[in-house]
A = this chain, B = another copy of it.
Amino acid sequence: MVNKQTEKYSKMLSEFKETVRNIEYLKYTLNSLIYWDKITNMPINGIEYRSQVMGYLGDELYRLLSSKQLKRCLNYFDGNKKNDDIVNGMVARIKRNHYYVEKIPKDEYREYISLIANAEQVWEKAKAKNDFKLFQPYLEKIVEKFKSFAEYWGYEENAYDALLGYYEEGVTVNEIDKMSSDLRDFIIELLNQIRQKEDYLEQDSDFIIGLETGKQKELSEWVLTEIGFNFDSGRLDEGAHPTTLACSPDDVRIVTAYNETDIRTGIFNALHEGGKGLYEQDIDKKLLGTLLAEVASFGVEESIGRFYENVLGRSKAFSTKLYDKLRELSAEVNIFDAESFYKYLNHVRPSLIRIDADELTYMLHIIIRYEIEKDLIHEKITVAELPEVWNQKYREYLGIEPDNDREGVLQDIHWAAGYFGFFPSYFLANLVAAQLAAMMEKEIGSIEELISQGCLECIHDWLAENVHKKGAVYSTSELIKKITGGAMSSEYYMEYLKKKYDKVYHL
């Protein structure tokens, strides 16, 4: 009896794995390789046929995910006591890959897709014309769509939980709220302290250092090599929007962007995307074929990006390395000594545009989005009120206010593109980065010291061992629990900020 069951289990398992392997081939080809080509290499007129190809392969992927064979496997393995972590992970991953689309009636989903396509174009026009009213009816429809999606997807307490869960499994509004309001007040208070400091009052935020793109490219390659990115298993290219795409752990493609007039853009893109690139390269190749050779979640991936960008990249020790390298490449950096270059990389200055924000105020931009999104979905504010609510929050939290909606509520494509429930991932990423850093320091010692001793590899190894190599076997919260033994917390992040800005501004 037992033998027969074991036999059936292993027979079903090889069927499950074969089906999933094919899904993976299609998914990685479509979402990584073909998409990468589209944003880096495709000639401009190629878009029409390419869209058809991508539509066809997307349909094929949907067909495989909806197949009877796969459903039979899912029914058999879902909750099966014989499963190891990997099989459990596979079940969870497939359900997530498919659940959210399948729950929405096909017609309504198609309507949504076409709404988004239009909304993105209208948003672009509205931003160019600085005319929120143009975009308002579209955004209203998008908000209505997401309210109805939340009902299809289901939630226990708050409708927004359903949207949040799409990006970070099991994370809830209550959990975020517990951290975000304290953190918001903490950052505002810290910002106010910094604003009093002589160093802050004296710093010239208009001063920036530029460098020709060719040399910035060389610098980015240096940064990637320093942190341990393997160019035999990956590459670096340019594109309009920085991102990292993996065709497999052995074929990881970083897309970056440079700003000729400000070296910081290229440096922090390389560190951020490079961190994500390390994550992808370190994933255990044994997970290929299970759909688990991926990052655990958007939030965890982003946390590794933030770790390399902020914790490591803006550290005293790494900024000194950067400073030395930059002096090789450009004479202009000589106007600084290493100490003021470090401070330059860590300057705080409230600004209106999220993607230009410094490390500290960045989090306030994120919290504002989160608060607004949540209130929209929970019907506490209307779309019509958005510009006013937006401006008021910027005044209150950052002490500055946009002159127009282009620099305010219209600045990002996110809502036009249907990214509702997405900003909390950015929020969590910063907390997790600080929490990982704290755990790392407990186990292998001070990050600053490891860097100045030249052991970037120790840092990389710790992350590979504790996070990267596990791929998507565990969800965000499971992973955090495995590493820290506890839940996500904002304490490590507050501690980190206090320590950093004390060093920069002598609070």
Chain A residues within CB distance 8 Å of chain B = 22, 25-26, 28-29, 33-34, 37, 41-46, 48-50, 52-53, 56-57, 230-235, 247-248, 250-252, 288
State whether A48 touches B250 (Cβ < 8 A): yes
CB-defined contacts of A52 to chain B, threshold 8 Å? 25
Of B25, B44, B251, the contact of A232 (CB 8 Å cutoff): B44
- Write 8 A-B pairs (CB below 8 A) sorted by A numbering: A26-B56, A29-B57, A42-B251, A43-B234, A43-B251, A45-B233, A45-B251, A46-B233
CB-defined contacts of A233 to chain B, threshold 8 Å? 43-46
Min Cβ gap A255→B in Å is: 12
CB-defined contacts of A56 to chain B, threshold 8 Å? 22, 25-26
Say whether chain A's binding surface is mostly helix, strand, loop, or mixed: helix
State whether B34 touches A29 (Cβ < 8 A): yes
With A and B bound together, what is the CA distance between A9 and B111 in angstroms? 33
With A and B bound together, what is the CA distance between A234 and B43 in angstroms? 5
CB-defined contacts of A252 to chain B, threshold 8 Å? 43
Of B46, B57, B235, B248, the contact of A251 (CB 8 Å cutoff): B46
State whether B232 touches A43 (Cβ < 8 A): yes
State whether A33 touches B37 (Cβ < 8 A): yes
8 closest cross-chain pairs (CB), A and B: A46-B251, A49-B248, A45-B250, A45-B233, A25-B56, A25-B53, A45-B232, A44-B232
State whether A50 touches B247 (Cβ < 8 A): yes
State whether B43 touches A288 (Cβ < 8 A): no
Look across to chain B and name the residue whose beta carbon is closest to the beta carbon of A42. B251
With A and B bound together, what is the CA distance between A28 and B230 in angstroms? 30
Min Cβ gap A471→B in Å is: 14
With A and B bound together, what is the CA distance between A44 and B230 in angstroms? 11
State whether A288 touches B49 (Cβ < 8 A): yes
Of B29, B48, B232, the contact of A53 (CB 8 Å cutoff): B29
Min Cβ gap A27→B in Å is: 11
Most buried by B among A46, A56, A233, A247: A46
With A and B bound together, what is the CA distance between A41 and B53 in angstroms? 20
Min Cβ gap A53→B in Å is: 5
Of B42, B43, B250, the contact of A46 (CB 8 Å cutoff): B250
State whether A251 touches B25 (Cβ < 8 A): no
With A and B bound together, what is the CA distance between A250 and B50 in angstroms? 9
With A and B bound together, what is the CA distance between A288 and B50 in angstroms? 12
CB-defined contacts of A248 to chain B, threshold 8 Å? 46, 48-50
CB-defined contacts of A25 to chain B, threshold 8 Å? 52-53, 56-57
With A and B bound together, what is the CA distance between A127 and B10 in angstroms? 48
Min Cβ gap A52→B in Å is: 7
Question: Known contacts A45-B251, A49-B247; can you find 14 more A-B pairs with CB under 8 A?
Answer: A25-B52, A25-B56, A25-B57, A26-B56, A33-B34, A33-B37, A37-B37, A43-B232, A43-B251, A45-B230, A46-B233, A46-B247, A48-B248, A49-B288
A29-B34, A46-B248, A46-B251 are contacts. A235–B41 as well, Cβ < 8 Å?
A: yes
With A and B bound together, what is the CA distance between A230 and B288 in angstroms? 40
With A and B bound together, what is the CA distance between A57 and B33 in angstroms? 14
Min Cβ gap A335→B in Å is: 32
With A and B bound together, what is the CA distance between A50 and B42 in angstroms? 20
CB-defined contacts of A232 to chain B, threshold 8 Å? 43-45
CB-defined contacts of A33 to chain B, threshold 8 Å? 34, 37
With A and B bound together, what is the CA distance between A45 and B246 in angstroms? 13
